[in-house]
Amino acid sequence: MMETRTVSVSIRESPQKVYEFAADPANLPKWAPGFVKSIDNRDGQWVAQTTMGEVTFAFAERNSFGVLDHGVTLPSGETFSNPMRIVANGQGSEVLFTLFRHAPMTEAEFDRDATVVLGDLEKLKAVIEAL
């Protein structure tokens, strides 16, 4: 088993509003600039320019449970699964993203990834609360 870390942020908007914005892959560069620089749909596949080069995204089907899980396939062909959820938190939402520490990732690299994800989730919060 791998070490995991769940990063979360509270957003003062309904889970439906947060989900609708975050579930649209075209919005990724607006709220995840720590990783995604640009993204486009090529023949039904989401391809992004990222800090790790060109990657493809495969997203969970739209659903009523707030599940935003997605797979990211790197240029090497390696695919990473990224569990992500939007859950109700009173009148607002909690956005949760679980990171896995893959070998041979160091503790410092894992900490850096968690910091980047937190920054992206805070950007998501700022963008959504400004809509």
pLDDT digits (tens, 9 = 90+) for 111-130: 999 999 999 999 999 999 99
Mean pLDDT of 14-29: 97
Out of 3.30.530.20, 3.30.465.10, 3.90.980.10, 3.30.70.420, select the CATH number for domain 4-130: 3.30.530.20
* Cα–Cα dist 111/47, whole Å: 26
Helices 15-22, 107-130: axis angle to 10 degrees equals: 110
Mean pLDDT of 59-78: 96
Which SS3 state, helix, strand or coil, does residue 28 take? helix
Whether the pLDDT of residue 110 is over 90: the answer is yes
b/e 31-63 (16+ beta carbons within 10 angstroms → b)? bbebbbeebeeeeeebbbebeeeebbbebeeee
Residue with tokens 């790197």: 74
Residue 104's φ and ψ, nearest 5 degrees, are -100, 40
For the chain, the average pLDDT equals 96
Contact 11, 93 (CB under 8 A): yes
pTM for this prediction: 0.94
Whether the pLDDT of residue 34 is over 90: the answer is no
- Supply 122's token pair: 């805070």
